[in-house]
Amino acid sequence: MPSTRPSAKNLRSTAASPRNTQQLPKDLLTVADIPQKKVGDLIRLAKKIKAAHGVSKPTFPLKGKTLGLIFEKPSTRTRVSFEAGMNQLGGQALFLASEKIQLSRGESLADTAKVLSRYVDGLVVRTFDQAALEEWAQHTSIPVINGLTDHCHPCQALADLLTIVEKKGRAKGLKLAYIGDGNNITHSLLEVGAKVGMHVSVGCPRSYEPDARIVKQARAEGLQTGATIEITHDPMLAAKNADAIYTDVWISMGQEGEHQVRMTALAPYQVNTELMKQAKPSAVVLHCLPAHRGEEITAEVLDGPQSVVLDQAENRLHIQKAILLEWLGK
């Protein structure tokens, strides 16, 4: 009997396409750039992709398309999910380590971007400075997707949203507590929460608060969607009655020189069994990985029954495929 699940070929048509009513931006640089309705559309498309994965007969809507990946930072999930996703959709991916191309020998970013626009259909850029990412977008005629910067990580936050919706049935009205450093992950979670009406409470040390401009923008958007944004220095307060608890490493790439200072400042913000008692008994635990057991989270919690981190990691593949279809599938 043929499967009743949607095939990859008609995934975009069966989901509400983000281009039906509003124009998607040329590039995916931040979650804030995506219109509110389109965030929900991407999640629905990713769910359809996931339902069809390994069940329906493969089709190849991106056949003939090529994705370039420019990475200045190490990666496991971002690189593999984009490469695998592109291959599964019928296209191909080219990994372009920044030190292996002429950028490392002085060719300008602008020239490189313009040349690559003639060769490939889209770029995923993983770099340090958000301004560099924006420069890539400025000089390309093809879509540029943020594979992570020090400022934000939109693809991760969209995968996190997909995971929460899967586990809880919705996002609107739920409380997400982020505990730890107010970093790039925090920024994208604030933006995604504001888009979908999910309350976000950040528990962080005073000197590690998220960017005030992003907090202000998220609060303003939350007035339209019903989301509330809370920044507190009390991790227990942030976690109180939360539907989801999220944490990330205390020392991100490029911050190794701050190791001892960060370890001391963030020690009270560990996600452990005591903190989990503040959340709802049904709360799920998220971590974007890689994790350092015994630092930002205990092994008991990370590997415990409330943890959904492996589903969260898998969902990078499905949300990435939805992004590729929408940004490259023109």
Q: What would the pLDDT profile of 10-40 be if each residue is shown by its tens digit?
A: 454 434 333 344 789 999 999 999 999 999 9
pLDDT of 67 > 80? The answer is yes
Q: Are residues 164 and 106 part of one domain?
A: no
Is residue 33 in a domain? yes
Is residue 171 in a domain? yes
Q: Are residues 307 and 320 part of one domain?
A: no
Q: What is the domain extent for residue 242? A: 154-312
Rounded distance between C-alpha atoms, residue 251 and residue 265, angstroms: 11
**The tokens of 105 are what?**
């020998």
Q: Are residues 125 and 260 part of one domain?
A: no
Q: Are residues 160 and 144 part of one domain?
A: no
Q: Are residues 117 and 211 part of one domain?
A: no
How much is the average pLDDT of 286-306?
98
Rounded distance between C-alpha atoms, residue 47 and residue 12, angstroms: 11
Q: Are residues 300 and 168 part of one domain?
A: yes
CATH number of the domain encompassing residue 215 = 3.40.50.1370
Is residue 1 in a domain? no
Is residue 3 in a domain? no
Quote the percentage of the chain above a pLDDT of 90: 85
Is residue 81 in a domain? yes
pLDDT of 210 > 70? The answer is yes
Q: Are residues 118 and 62 part of one domain?
A: yes
Active-site positions read 126, 153, 156, 248, 288, 316
Is 162:319 a contact under the CB 8 Å cutoff?
yes
Q: Are residues 196 and 135 part of one domain?
A: no
Which pLDDT value is given to residue 180?
Answer: 98
Mean pLDDT lowest among 3-7, 194-198, 216-220: 3-7
Is 14:45 a contact under the CB 8 Å cutoff?
no
How far, CA to CA in Å, does 205 sit from each of 25, 222, 245, 285?
A: 35, 23, 17, 20
Q: Are residues 168 and 31 part of one domain?
A: no
Q: Are residues 194 and 133 part of one domain?
A: no
Q: Looking at the 3D structure of the chain, how many domains does it have?
A: 2
Q: Are residues 85 and 110 part of one domain?
A: yes
Q: Are residues 138 and 166 part of one domain?
A: no
Mean pLDDT lowest among 1-5, 50-54, 76-80, 123-127: 1-5
**The tokens of 86 are what?**
């592109």
